[in-house]
Amino acid sequence: MSDTIPVLIVDDLPQNLLALKAVISDMGLEIITAKSGNDALRLSLKYDFALILLDVQMPGMNGFEVARLIRSNPKTSHFPIIFVTAGMNDLLDQIEVYETGAVDYLIKPFEPVILRSKVRVFRELYQQRKLIEKFYNNLEQIVEERTLELKEAGETISRLAATDELTKLSNRRHFNETLPAALSASRRHGYPLSLIMIDLDHFKSVNDTFGHFEGDTVLIKFADLLRDIIRAEDVAARWGGEEFIIILPHTTSEAAAALAERIRLSCIENASAMHGLSASFGVAQLQNGEDDNSFIRRADDAMYRAKNEGRNRVVVE
């Protein structure tokens, strides 16, 4: 909340400005003065006034016109206005005071205690308004922070639900949700789509010889190899156990086989980290009218052919 409480005094006579200012100078206000309606309008756009004390009889633009213009502007329409004038005996003038949106009027000469009491009311209302604004600003910030936290939590939950806990690749559930969309896009746009099914050869021997912790380490290492080799648009998933599968958009079976060969050679190059394990690869390209189950089955069949033919090789279905 601002420490200052700005009040605007508008009068074309300097002595009147000084007199009004003297009455309220000890009330903890930031007193700003204007000698014309134009000055008042300019200042009203610069400050958030707690109160405007406005003379009616001024040259050029009278107080009623100034009040109407202040009320017509959404940025200033909430400013309370009290007319301070020598001429307010006519009933029509008194009616016009309230038609302009002013909250009250004082007739000169006025009792200083009355002016001070009115100013005190609007000073307190201003302070209360600023407290409420601060509260709602803080509330909006809290809501914004909580909304961001919930969004991040939701994204984290979605990511975890789609990710294999051990390898951090996509899990089978996410793969099953992704493949139909990939098939649809391939058919709609007419580009090739391929799958690579992978099985780590003799993986059970690692678990039996070195324990499951070391077996998990091999799976993590192999997942890292896949991430380093595949493209950003490819989707690699842990199919189950020591089996993996990759979706390759815009890829023919020949190009997929070449990628599988790169992965196979990378396993050999990282033999120590892989405990000497090799991998068998089955490759299939989407055929016209084929559904996702048939597509996966052909890649899986090709992978089992690779294993039956001696492992550590790539077979294209």
Q: What is the 3-state secondary structure (H, E, C) of the chain?
A: CCCCCEEEEECCCHHHHHHHHHHHCCCCCEEEEECCHHHHHHHHCCCCCCEEEECCCCCCCCHHHHHHHHHHCCCCCCCCEEEEECCCCCHHHHHHHHHCCCCEEEECCCCHHHHHHHHHHHHHHHHHHHHHHHHHHHHHHHHHHHHHHHHHHHHHHHHHHCECCCCCCECHHHHHHHHHHHHHHHHHHCCCEEEEEEEECCHHHHHHHHCHHHHHHHHHHHHHHHHHHCCCCCEEEEEECCEEEEEEECCCHHHHHHHHHHHHHHHHHCCCCCCCCCEEEEEEECCCCCCHHHHHHHHHHHHHHHHHCCCCCEEEC
242 in active site: yes
242, 261, 269, 309: which one is catalytic?
242
Catalytic residues: 242
